Amino acid sequence: MRVFKLTLVALAATFAWTAAAEAIEVKKRREAPGKPAEVWAVVGDFCAIKDWHPAVAECEQIEEGGDTFRILTLGDGGKIKEKLTDSDDTSYSYEIIEGPLPVKNYKATLEVGEDDEPDRVEIEWEAEFDADGVEDAEHEDHLRHLQ
């Protein structure tokens, strides 16, 4: 009976660890001057990423089956296809459909919100995903070193 209980405890611990390691989160923030609507007018278009991200050379927005997608062309010609999943006045969410990054179940949100100080904004870009091809723990360890 004692062995059975110990086994149950070990199993529970394993499941808890696995659940904790399932998704990896990356979140980056910056503050800047301006008002959210003003900043969003410059960067909020789904394909405006080509104007503010140095790694994106081109962006093509397409509609398929009532959904909006963007196809990013990177500096070396690599392509990433992303689907717009939600949007409002100063944010949008999307997921990666296909691309060269070693991730799966990738969901991200870009948002420009009000900062605590007047006439300043908080820019936040966050994503949740699973590692594709390496162990999540190893992946997360790499990311922690870089953050």
Partner 1 sequence: MPTAWKTPSTKTISGIFNDGVTGIKKKAIAAYDKREAAAATPSPRAATAPRMRT
Question: What is the smallest separation between the CB atom of 22 and partner 1, expressed in angstroms?
Answer: 16
Which CB atom, from 68 or from 99, has the smaller least distance to partner 1?
99
The interface with partner 1 within residues 53-112 (CB under 8 A) comprises 53-55, 74-76, 78, 100-103, 110, 112
- Per DSSP bridges, beta strands 120-131 and 103-114 are antiparallel
CB atoms within 10 A of CB 24: 20
Instruction: Answer yes or no whether residue 30 interacts with partner 1 by CB under 8 A.
Output: yes
d(CA 28, CA 144): 12
d(CA 111, CA 114): 10
Among 49, 71, 84, 97, contact with partner 1 (rule: CB under 8 A): 49
Among 9, 13, 52, 114, contact with partner 1 (rule: CB under 8 A): 52
Residues 6+ apart with CB under 8 A from 34: 119, 120, 121
d(CA 130, CA 144): 15
Question: What is the smallest separation between the CB atom of 41 and partner 1, expressed in angstroms?
Answer: 8
Residues forming the site for partner 1 (CB under 8 A): 26-34, 38-39, 41-43, 49, 51-55, 74-76, 78, 100-103, 110, 112, 121, 123-125, 127, 131, 134, 138-139, 142-143, 146-147
